[in-house]
Amino acid sequence: MSARETILNAVRAGLDNRKVDAEAVRREADALLQDLDAVRPELPAGALVDAFIARVTSPKVAATAERIKDVNELPAAVRRYLDLHKLPPSVALQPAAVLKNLSWHGLETRGEVAADDIVGVGIARWGIAETGSLVFHSNPETPILANFLPLYHIVMVHESAIVAFLDDYAAVVVGQRPPRNVNLITGASGTTDIEGSLVLGAHGPAHLHVVIVKDTPEL
Amino acid sequence: MTTPQSASRPASPPRVGLFVTCLVDAMRPSVGFAALKLLRDAGCRVEVPDAQTCCGQPAFNSGDTADAAVLARRFIESFEPYDYVVGPSGSCVGMTRAHYEEVLSNDPAWSERARRLGERTYELMSFLVDVMHYTPTDVKLDSSFTYHDSCSGLRELGVHDQPRALLDKVTGLTLKPLEGNDVCCGFGGTFCVKYPSISNAVVTEKAEAIERSGAQLLLGGDLGCLMNMSGKLKRQGSKVRSLHAAEVLAGMGNGPAIGEED
Amino acid sequence: MQEATVSFKARAERALADPTLKLAIDRTTGTAERKRAVAMTQFPQFEAARERGKRIKDHVIANLDHYLLEFERNAIESGAKVHWASTAEEASQIVVSLCKQANAKRVTRVKSMLGEEIGLPHALDEAGIERVETDLAEHIVQLGGDRPSHIVWPSMHRTREQVSDMFKRAHRVPHQEETIEAMVASARRELRDKFLSADVSISGANFLIANTGATCTVTNEGNAELTTTPPRVHIVTAGIEKLVPSIEHAFLMLRLLVRSATGADVTQYTTFHCGPKQPGDRDGPEEFHIVLVDNGRTRMLRDAALKEMLRCIRCGACMNHCVVFRQLGGHVYGGTYPGPMGAVLTPVFDGLESSRDLPHACTMNGKCQEVCPVAIPLPTLLRGWRDRSWREGLEPTAARFGLSIHTFVASHPRLYRLGTAIAIKVMRLFSRGGLVRGMPGLGAWTKHRDFPAPARRSFMAMYKNSENKR
């Protein structure tokens, strides 16, 4: 007997070889998702975008954030960030058309993110106010390593793509074929592995800056 | 886990069987007499069933369920005639209230008797407050105390506020909070003699926390834990005196503390 | 296990005599406890969420065959290859042979307790495959040549000074400054090119998502994604109990897991891995393998005294709040998993005979059950092992003899009273000034603390006397 059969038989024996009613199982699983407000934290009152920003910049997430009115303002925002942190005027762009088509005047840009890049600029598909998370789906315009290699990560997200809870993100993608990777990124990379002390920049970015754009996303 | 419900006070004096517990019986009878006095002051008719011995907890925690069941049946027979069973120990009461059903689960009739008796079985502090709505009057003790919440009483029976509410009524007595008041003292019944070094390491930290509280008295509701903590304090030459909370509430707070000559 | 030859008690004595270890344990578990407590005050829904989490896990376990098949179907659909392993040896052999098939010289690993459970580090080393641990703590464990001592902080037992020495010896460009920041930067430099040049990556899974076939990892360092993206092959090993019906259910569990583990609301990186690289993707593995591991889990399913342990989501809260773990650290437990959950699991994996101390070395204080995010009655499960140990005759003869005498005496009240009276007399004989500082048979107590002298007469004797006078 294969290990597969051995395991499945042992599971069935452990469950008294009852008959599986797939429909009943699904109903039961769905029932476990009812009344979500009782089992998740509350969001502060007010606009979703404000809750998201408050969360992103809270000590728990410890990222920085700013708002811009239009996607065309992104290069200027990146420039200000580089100046503020005294970084060289050179950024690696996530290979997304939206970013490539912007006017990056005065900045050296590359369309690939390399192992030793200092600053990377990317776009998150969604933001989640509950946790201050940014959501990325791997695809031709979104390689996964771009989110992890740079030391400074600047991420743009559209205001209209901010959802309240983790569950709301799940509801948006329900039924879709998942990408290879879904990354939920919440703040910079950190570790508490040496004596419990928090140090940022363990393997991934040490700094995360979130830029929220007012206009509608091109999804 | 069961938490006692706050019911209205019994209309007529209830008949209470005092569950002395073996440690109190052998080591510190004053706790038993304090319980007797408090229950009588609270308006109970108290009797001490002569046939009581040990609740079977040592056997139960050693994995010897058969012997635990023998003693559980004896206990149930001894205490079944009473309206309530009350004991000055969260651990022993926890055994009878939270575990007898499990110990006797092979025998539905006995298991049911265990359940029914369990519903009427209370830790002393919780019974005085939750059932009898008792408030001590005219008790004085000029001292400061810190309180250790013994684990069984706290987690199996929900005893936390009751002893504090009662002790709050003792004139002249002030509470100095204990850091880690809900952290185990390392007694654990037979654990402390099966793994003495580990137990010692745990109670050493507890003794340090008690000293840091700055209190003159260490009070608690379980003699086993109190013997463990006071034994460590004594060994270290501490001046902190240890008493069962019932003793203080019964006006015996100036008597010999645990480990003092009688 | 390397320490199996030394008894639990001897290992415990050694740990208790190590003040550096105690300092290291206190720093990590103390911080974890404080941060969890804060997180709980900010999450008043915890009790309801925990009840829901418990129900989700119970639902999955009650329909485990259904969910395993659903997961397998969807994983295959996504392009993954699914393997099944009944035992630890089978599981690690599957992984090793996948590595060999991929002609792997270098393998990068993401911390996974299941990987430790199935002996994967050892199996890879045996096979002569270079193994690079990418989690910082596992990197420290690898450099130290020892084993994880905590399931969330595997190198909890190391102080910063020890880590600094190890890094200076092993790293190509080690830190100059003696700060933790500099040490972390040193590890970052050391590991970066290894991430990118590995042939195979191996990770565990915090959740398996049945309705998509995805596996979920949670990390704070970002090493999971850096590890699993560049190599040509990604292998996931996961216990069969890790299933959840959907990503929605995973999110409910995630809220409980992270708060209980570190006190954060969510980890920095939560990633769902679903199949290999898709058309047009710029990175990702060509091959994606999932090894579903039983290793005792179906035995636990059949055992009423252990079944509830299958709810465990490996958060580590039970050990962070355990008075025994906080004195001993993790190595003393001798198995893959330490603390209360380890004391339940290790006898499953290693047998009760060699691990009977674990369920006994517990004060039954119930704190672990109180903090468990899926409400596992750990003390009850530990007592279940004690019952079994008693039934199987593994308990010392003296204890058995003592308890049967005790039961006999306690069943005869007059004999019991007599015994009490004699014990009181003997103890008072040994007492001075209200205390017994030493007495035959009481050494385990009096070695460390004083024993109070009993009153002259027992309560029952005095009570009878006083009632007769009334």
Residue contact C28–A195, C-beta within 8 A = yes
CB hemisphere CA count around A114 (13 angstroms): 8
The verdict on B85 and B113 lying in the same domain is yes
Domains along the sequence of chain C with CATH? 34-298 (3.40.50.10420), 408-469 (no CATH)
pTM summary value: 0.95
The span from the CA of C249 to the CA of C227, in Å, is: 26
Considering the domain boundaries, does residue B5 fall inside one? no
Considering the domain boundaries, does residue B259 fall inside one? no
The span from the CA of C451 to the CA of C441, in Å, is: 12
* Chain C environment of A131 (Cβ under 8 Å): 265-266
Q: Confirm or reject contact between A182 and chain C (CB < 8 A).
A: yes
Instruction: Single out the residue in B96, B130, B164 at which a domain terminates.
Output: B130
Q: Confirm or reject contact between A145 and chain C (CB < 8 A).
A: yes
Q: Confirm or reject contact between A10 and chain C (CB < 8 A).
A: yes
Structure tokens at B81: 């005639």
The span from the CA of B32 to the CA of B48, in Å, is: 10
Residue contact A139–C220, C-beta within 8 A = no
Chain A residue with Cα closest to C149: A193
Instruction: Single out the residue in B113, B130, B147 at which a domain terminates.
Output: B130
The domain in which residue B36 lies consists of 15-130
Q: Which has more pLDDT, A115 or A213?
A: A213
Chain C residue with Cα closest to A130: C265
Q: Tally the domains of chain B.
A: 2
Considering the domain boundaries, does residue B74 fall inside one? yes
The verdict on B106 and B180 lying in the same domain is no
- The tens digit of pLDDT for each residue in A35-52 reads 999 999 999 999 999 999
> Between C48, C268, C302, which is nearest A185 by CB?
C268
Beta strand pairing call for C431-432 and C435-436: antiparallel
Taking CA atoms, A195 is separated from C20, C21, C34, C222, C332, in Å, by 12, 11, 15, 19, 19
Residue contact C406–B54, C-beta within 8 A = yes
- The tens digit of pLDDT for each residue in B38-92 reads 999 999 999 999 999 999 999 999 999 999 999 999 999 999 999 999 999 999 9
Residue A219 has pLDDT above 50, yes or no: no
Q: What is the pLDDT of residue C96?
A: 98
How much is the CA Rg of chain B, to the nearest whole Å? 18
Considering the domain boundaries, does residue B76 fall inside one? yes
Q: What is the pLDDT of residue C2?
A: 45
Residue B107 has pLDDT above 70, yes or no: yes
CATH number corresponding to A43-213: 3.40.50.10420
Residue A28 has pLDDT above 60, yes or no: yes
The span from the CA of C293 to the CA of C239, in Å, is: 5
Instruction: Single out the residue in B105, B130, B155 at which a domain terminates.
Output: B130
Q: Which of B2, B24, B25 to mutate to test the interface with C (most CBs of C within 10 A)?
A: B25
Q: What confidence tier does A215 reach under pLDDT thresholds 50, 70, 90?
A: confident
The verdict on B96 and B114 lying in the same domain is yes
Q: What is the pLDDT of residue B262?
A: 83
Residue contact B26–C454, C-beta within 8 A = yes
- What percentage of chain C has pLDDT greater than the value 90? 95
Q: Which of B31, B40, B50, B62 to mutate to test the interface with C (most CBs of C within 10 A)?
A: B62
Residue B2 has pLDDT above 80, yes or no: no
User: Residue-wise pLDDT tens for chain C (470 aa)?
Assistant: 444 578 999 999 999 999 999 999 999 999 999 999 999 999 999 999 999 999 999 999 999 999 999 999 999 999 999 999 999 999 999 999 999 999 999 999 999 999 999 999 999 999 999 999 999 999 999 999 999 999 999 999 999 999 999 999 999 999 999 999 999 999 999 999 999 999 999 999 999 999 999 999 999 999 999 999 999 999 999 999 999 999 999 999 999 999 999 999 999 999 999 999 999 999 999 999 999 999 999 999 999 999 999 999 999 999 999 999 999 999 999 999 999 999 999 999 999 999 999 999 999 999 999 999 999 999 999 999 999 999 999 999 988 999 999 999 999 999 999 999 999 999 999 999 999 999 988 999 999 999 999 999 999 999 998 888 76
The verdict on B48 and B116 lying in the same domain is yes
- The tens digit of pLDDT for each residue in C271-329 reads 999 999 999 999 999 999 999 999 999 999 999 999 999 999 999 999 999 999 999 99
Q: What confidence tier does B6 reach under pLDDT thresholds 50, 70, 90?
A: low
Q: What is the pLDDT of residue C120?
A: 98
The verdict on B149 and B230 lying in the same domain is yes
Structure tokens at C338: 């330490």
Average pLDDT, chain C: 96
* Chain C environment of B67 (Cβ under 8 Å): 403-404, 406-407
The verdict on B32 and B115 lying in the same domain is yes
Q: What is the DSSP string of C277-319?
A: --TT-SSS-SEEEEEEE-TTHHHHHH-TTTGGGGG-----HHH
Evaluate the CA torsion angle A155, A161, A164, A170 in order and state its sign: negative
Interval A73-89 mean pLDDT = 97
CB contact set of A162 (below 8 Å; sequence gap of 6+): A48, A49, A52, A126, A127, A128, A129, A212
Helix, coil or strand: residue C343: helix
- The tens digit of pLDDT for each residue in C45-99 reads 999 999 999 999 999 999 999 999 999 999 999 999 999 999 999 999 999 999 9
Q: What is the pLDDT of residue C197?
A: 95
The verdict on B25 and B115 lying in the same domain is yes
Query: Taking Cα atoms as reference points, which of A123, A132, A218, A141 lies closest to residue A179?
Result: A141
Helix, coil or strand: residue A190: strand
Q: What is the pLDDT of residue A136?
A: 98
